[in-house]
Structure 1
């Protein structure tokens, strides 16, 4: 018995609707399944606790989800596999996916969307995944159009909306044909950046180390980490210092500044780590294996 058939037994009013035929309704609550099917259940059959439970394995669709622009609908249909090609005209010269996540689910989506769009030279397609996450498709239409710089932008948005915001910026693509596969890859990287707290603005290059870690079996990752850090496992301050040192490009002055400590104190800790573990993190090979293992320890 399928998930929808099981739900149908609990909610007799449940119906499956076509994505493109969704109409805003005050009678029905709309959900999207993992298989991208859209179902509607009468709100009179749903209690608050049941709605919260359904949110765990179904994606709720609000009225705002139905108010896509024509260009957003073209992108949505293409990325979700409902259309074999991007029908939006004109096609962008290149594009990238900018995923975002809001920590506060009560933020007004329309207000946030308008604020985010104001930073772009033109309205960009924006697709909501759920009440807290979505993706804006940054389309480059002209040769002189510069990509948006998100680092200063996020400070303004977090200040205005009093919530933490995480962005993941994909690479740019010049091939609309690869859009669906590129989208799924970028979406995977976005969720990895969320799981590993890379941010608040994460890029593909910053996600790469975590991609390598997650590709290994958990047991093997743990064995490597335990082997390297057996002598310093309980010294969390030392491990934190080493991680900041490596993330600072092994620049002792910069790392000391970030840790609010004297450069000599930081250098002492680096030397202490090398002495206790036998891993020379001042050399590239020792630095890379230590950094990857530290990321695993953070998980």
Structure 2
């Protein structure tokens, strides 16, 4: 139960105001001993005949309720009973509390969609939104897209349980339109990094490895290839959550356009594609007409796959031939044929850049 709601209910029952105070743990322990409590972390203790009821403890403070006016012994026992029940419920969350978590995440998702639709990129999360305290830490945002019917039917509880198991702790799972926004505390990822440090050189390497593992886990759990995944840089400000969600959605869109055969899209691998996507249509068309690479060549699947693989492998002829399972001379023949038809030799850096840009523009214009 929310602390404000609990306080209000208690005040309505006793007809008096309650104040929530913080106490030093050692002082509370002394009071508990003086009042013969079996355990300092439970029950009610008196200070100068004034009753104080324990609500919760943390590493540095004890939180207690104090009545502002004198109460009868019956009212004191009633408050003690109600708070004991509330503490028990807090320590052992019920099904309803899990449903509360889901409702809070749904509320956040609805608010995010409204801000995105309105273009309010710098909107701060409302103070009265119940989930706001969970977003106070540094977070890493992931976006999981569900393209088929099976993926869209995945239940919140099952996906949340799977993600908690994968990341090793509580996460925030926010339903969006045909996708899920997953917010993971930095501390959890640092723990993962410590456990799997071998081969992980940078934070982005870690995020890429996490995406790969997460995709494989989800695909094995629900089957099919209808899931796609992307991730963003660390969020250190709640006010950037809306813009981060938009950036994730754009990365997902770019991946679907430019990396059709992939299921994981990393924004730092799509920087050139992002630039191409935002070029005005008339400028795109002008470049296409002046590039010297006809669309008919790129519509040939063999040519397109050969060029894309060649660029993906840093224009390495031997590695490209191995990846395509063809002889090195066969690859050279294809590249020479392309040069004859276009006048562009993709083994030359300048020509390779022009052809790469033309391929990206072709994919954008083909989609439009």
Match of 1:229 among 264, 284, 293: 293
CA contact 1:232–1:277 (8 Å) conserved in 2: no
CA contact 1:74–1:87 (8 Å) conserved in 2: no
Q: Paired residue for 1:281?
A: 346
Q: Paired residue for 1:258?
A: 323
Q: CA deviation at 1:279?
A: 2.3
What's the CA shift string for 1:196-243, capped at 9, x where partnerless? 345311111222222112212234324433543138356442232111
What is the aligned-residue RMSD (CA, Å)? 3.1
Say yes or no: does 1:122 pair with 2:169: yes
What's the CA shift string for 1:104-141, capped at 9, x where partnerless? 223442234433332111121111113x3111112213
Q: Paired residue for 1:136?
A: 182
Structure 1, unaligned runs of 5 or more: 1-65
Q: Paired residue for 1:83?
A: 125
Say yes or no: does 1:245 pair with 2:272: no
Q: CA deviation at 1:83?
A: 2.8
Rounded Cα–Cα distance in structure 2 between residues aligned with 1:143 and 1:296: 37
Report how many residues are paired: 232
Q: CA deviation at 1:90?
A: 7.2
Q: In the superposition, relative to structure 1, how do residues 123 and 267 fare at CA in structure 2: closer, same or farther (>3 Å)?
A: farther
Q: Paired residue for 1:163?
A: 224
Equivalent residues in 2 for 1:39-54, closer than 5 Å: none
Rounded Cα–Cα distance in structure 1 between residues aligned with 2:213 and 2:337: 37
Rounded Cα–Cα distance in structure 2 between residues aligned with 1:155 and 1:296: 31
Q: Which runs of 4+ in 1 moved over 6 A?
A: none
CA contact 2:251–2:265 (8 Å) conserved in 1: no
CA contact 2:139–2:184 (8 Å) conserved in 1: yes
Q: In the superposition, relative to structure 1, how do residues 259 and 240 fare at CA in structure 2: closer, same or farther (>3 Å)?
A: same
Q: Paired residue for 2:91?
A: none
Name the TM-score, length of structure 1 as normaliser: 0.65
CA contact 1:98–1:169 (8 Å) conserved in 2: yes
Q: Paired residue for 2:243?
A: 181
Match of 1:290 among 355, 360, 364: 355
What's the CA shift string for 1:272-298, capped at 9, x where partnerless? 323332223223332223112112223
Q: In the superposition, relative to structure 1, how do residues 194 and 278 fare at CA in structure 2: closer, same or farther (>3 Å)?
A: same
Question: Could you say what secondary structure the match of 2:150 adopts?
Answer: coil
Q: CA deviation at 1:88?
A: 1.6
